[in-house]
Structure 1
Amino acid sequence: MRMRITEVTAVAVRVPRRVPMVASQGAISVSEFGVVRVDTDAGVVGWGEIAMSWGRVGRALCGDVARSLAPVLVGLDPRDVSACALAMQRILHITPDGAHAARAAVEMALLDIAGKAAGVPVYRLLGGRVRDRIPMAWPIPWGAPADTADAASWAVEQGFRTVKLKVGRPGGADREAVAAVRSAVGDGVAIKVDANMAYRSAGEAFAALRPLEEFGLQLIEQPLPARDLDELARLRDRLATPLLLDEACWELRDIGEIVRRGAADVLNVYVVEMGGPLQAWKAFAAAESAGLTGLLGSQCEMGLATAACAHVGVAVPNLAYESDVVGPLRYPRDIVLNPPRIEDGFLYAPDGPGLGVEIDESALDALRIE
């Protein structure tokens, strides 16, 4: 029996964070996101979350949904997720201005509808689970060495076995922070570092990162600009630590270039950056075909998009490192009544139909931007 999309709407929300995230790109203390609602003629409603921390954010991306995506989707069957994704791709390409996050939110809502209609969680639509839970890392912003060490110790007390430190500062600040964390947490906790494209050349990055390797790093993330793949390949050959790419991996065709140039050991795949859960699943499959592993990146999503990430994470076989999707712990209030469980350093995918979370209408009303 056919089902039709009757309306696609989006509202922007403004949500304060408990602690600002400070890194080479700047500081963020408030998330301006968006919530997408897809209605159908069968009465089934799907929800998705626009989660983008930099550049064009909530209000602008909600405008993309209203002006560009809604008109091409109304009348289509939401359960034909691939057909809807193709329609969105034709009208709104994945670009660095954030349009991918608008597409991702709509695709989350479509999968939410498809799962609800079939009575199964989204991970079943992605091939089923290969794991019961997803190991998480706790990201820590720039700060004084003692503060960074305290944050890492707190994370370990909460059950996290990996911490992620933002680096990219001049002088010896990064080395002091990594040394303090290693001293505080011991050798049994993994440390990965993320430079967010802070360096301008392989030589500069090597000079900054090589001294950090003595502390036994797990991964080094995106030290150079996204398109400097040849320089990244040269740096990868010189470092002992595996190289993780993030900003260089924003769409499927990026993976082909990364592989061709030998620029990475691991890929950081974002559901919001790839354009949705199905697109992220494809990215993991593309990486697997080239012998690469991956993890799930985060734009500090709230509970709705975190659920979408969790469904992807339990369904892909080549998730080999701790992921960063701990957004619900960053906010004093969420937009869902039942955020996905994060416990002892693990994220669990909801088992209910669709995304498995329920919108908190009162929170949505309180947080929305008029």
Structure 2
Amino acid sequence: MSRIVRVELTPLFVPFHKHVQESMKSTEGGLGMAIGAEEEWLGGDFVICRLTSDDGKCGVGEAFVWLPETGVSPEQLVDIIEKSLSRYVIGESPFNVEAIRHRMDINVNRSDVAKGLIDMACYDLMGQITGQPAHDFFGGKCVDEVPLAALIALSDVETMIDLCRTFYERGIRTFRLKLGRSIQSDVEIVAGIRDALGPEVRLRVDYNQAYKQPPEAVRAIKAIEPYEIDFAEQPVAASNYNGMAYVQQRVSVPVMAHEGCFSLQDIASLVKMGGINIVGLNSERPGGVTNMLRAIAYAEMEGLGAVLHNQCLGIASAMHIHVAAAKYHALGHAIELFGHLMMEDDLIKERLNYSNGTAKVPTGPGWGVELDEVALRKYATGPTAIIE
């Protein structure tokens, strides 16, 4: 059986396209959202993980990190894997994801983003070894393409409406609207977009913790309930689980956690408290592909929806598409992949196939995409850590 003999970790920064940077400067706080971070958001920080097996195959994982959300920098992520987690990976079979995760969990508390990065690379390596697409390991694909949702940054109403129309013309029928400037502004945005696009489109909203007091968040969500909202994301502070429960129990719109949800335990706690009715997932939360699949199954068992979303590069985008195709009937919501439109490079040799509001499922082994080594070196912010 193949064994992992090398772990490589590369921190990198990929800038937004120039036009995205310029448009972001005109949005709320220069971030396009109501979150209170002080530094400009000019691109994405990532870590690429490569696992090499003793037969020369290589699997790749990708993690997006942003200090206001993940609380960890690329360098810190590399450090925790290099110094504390890699010892539980070297010598193991990539197929033994349960054993690898167990050893990491009993020896290193939390660190779910780092563990998830390793887990993700294991699945790609499985596919490279067997020649199978990754969705084969998730039960096979239900569809050949998955519907996409568009992210609409918080700006003035007309700008947001115009952007929605642009995506609508490209086949998009689901939109995530950044809100949280004020309740009145929220209503003007949602009402304007609903009126412009009509009743057939699906709208979801994201507050990015904008409302510090749960009663105010309740008023904000109730104010937009007439406009048929699929769900409301993170209306109160990430750490305020009691506040999330207060809100969810007083509004009819399903509430979803994002900044406050990093592990399976976080999801279970929020569900048991009555704090969420939608489970939000991405490549590094709640700790990789294995835990993502568990979370989807848990949400389905509890009668909840699940959403895959992130502004990721090509590797993680491909992973999301494979999972969404395999768990299509359990999710119930369009996936949100926006990195290819925001970032100036997606670090894969051939771009994924996006057309008419959908993403086609890659057909090659593993994630079905190949890491662009030239681009990796171009955007690296530090040396590649190599552990053998």
> Does TM-score exceed 0.5, indicating one fold?
yes
Q: Secondary structure at the match of 1:259?
A: helix
| Deviation per residue, 1:183-239 (Å, 9 max, x gap) | 322222121111122222331112222222232322211212334344333322332
Percent of pairs identical after alignment? 29
Q: Secondary structure at the match of 2:6?
A: strand
Q: Secondary structure at the match of 2:155?
A: coil
Tell me which residue corresponds to 1:74.
Answer: 90
CA contact (8 A) 1:277 1:309 kept: no
Tell me which residue corresponds to 1:37.
Answer: 50
CA contact (8 A) 2:154 2:179 kept: yes
Tell me which residue corresponds to 1:293.
Answer: 305
Q: In 1, distance between residues paired with 2:182 and 2:206?
A: 14
CA contact (8 A) 2:59 2:124 kept: yes
Tell me which residue corresponds to 1:136.
Answer: 148
| Deviation per residue, 1:253-291 (Å, 9 max, x gap) | 223222322222211122311111111001111112222
CA contact (8 A) 2:44 2:343 kept: no
Within the candidate set 222, 230, 234, 1:210 is matched to 222
Tell me which residue corresponds to 1:15.
Answer: 14
Q: Secondary structure at the match of 2:312?
A: coil
Q: Which amino acid aligns with 1:8?
A: V
Q: In 2, distance between residues paired with 1:58 and 1:176?
A: 38
Q: Which amino acid aligns with 2:231?
A: L
Q: In 2, distance between residues paired with 1:310 and 1:88?
A: 27
| Larger RCO (CA within 8 A; separation ≥ 6) | 2
Within the candidate set 78, 93, 107, 2:109 is matched to 93
Q: CA deviation at 1:129?
A: 1.6
| Deviation per residue, 1:3-62 (Å, 9 max, x gap) | 221111101111011324521224522111111111121111111112123332322212
Q: CA deviation at 1:114?
A: 0.8
CA contact (8 A) 1:296 1:323 kept: yes
Q: Which amino acid aligns with 1:44?
A: K
| Deviation per residue, 1:140-187 (Å, 9 max, x gap) | 111111111111111111111011111111362222222222232222
Q: Which amino acid aligns with 1:340?
A: L
Structure 2: gaps spanning 5 or more residues: 25-30, 383-388
How many residues align? The count is 364
CA contact (8 A) 1:7 1:70 kept: no
**After the TM superposition, which residues 170-249 of structure 1 pair with which residues of structure 2 at under 5 Å, given as runs?**
170=182, 172-249=184-261
Tell me which residue corresponds to 1:364.
Answer: 376
Tell me which residue corresponds to 2:4.
Answer: 5
C-alpha change, 1:329 and 1:121, in structure 2 (3 Å) is: same
Q: CA deviation at 1:248?
A: 3.9
Q: In 2, distance between residues paired with 1:17 and 1:155?
A: 18
Q: Which amino acid aligns with 2:318?
A: A
Q: In 1, distance between residues paired with 2:344 and 2:199?
A: 32
Q: Which amino acid aligns with 1:24?
A: A
C-alpha change, 1:113 and 1:314, in structure 2 (3 Å) is: same
Q: Secondary structure at the match of 2:16?
A: strand
Within the candidate set 341, 356, 365, 1:344 is matched to 356
C-alpha change, 1:256 and 1:56, in structure 2 (3 Å) is: closer
* Residue 312 (structure 2) pairs with residue 312 (structure 1): no
Q: CA deviation at 1:331?
A: 1.6
Tell me which residue corresponds to 1:49.
Answer: 62
C-alpha change, 1:32 and 1:271, in structure 2 (3 Å) is: closer
CA contact (8 A) 1:9 1:70 kept: no
Q: Secondary structure at the match of 1:274?
A: coil
CA contact (8 A) 1:148 1:180 kept: no
Q: Which amino acid aligns with 2:267?
A: I
Q: In 2, distance between residues paired with 1:109 and 1:120?
A: 15
What TM-score, normalized by structure 2, do the two folds share? Answer: 0.88
Q: CA deviation at 1:137?
A: 1.1
Q: In 1, distance between residues paired with 2:108 and 2:134?
A: 24
Deviating more after overlay: 235-244 vs 66-75? 235-244
Tell me which residue corresponds to 2:314.
Answer: 303
CA contact (8 A) 2:352 2:360 kept: yes
Q: In 2, distance between residues paired with 1:101 and 1:154?
A: 34
Tell me which residue corresponds to 1:110.
Answer: 122
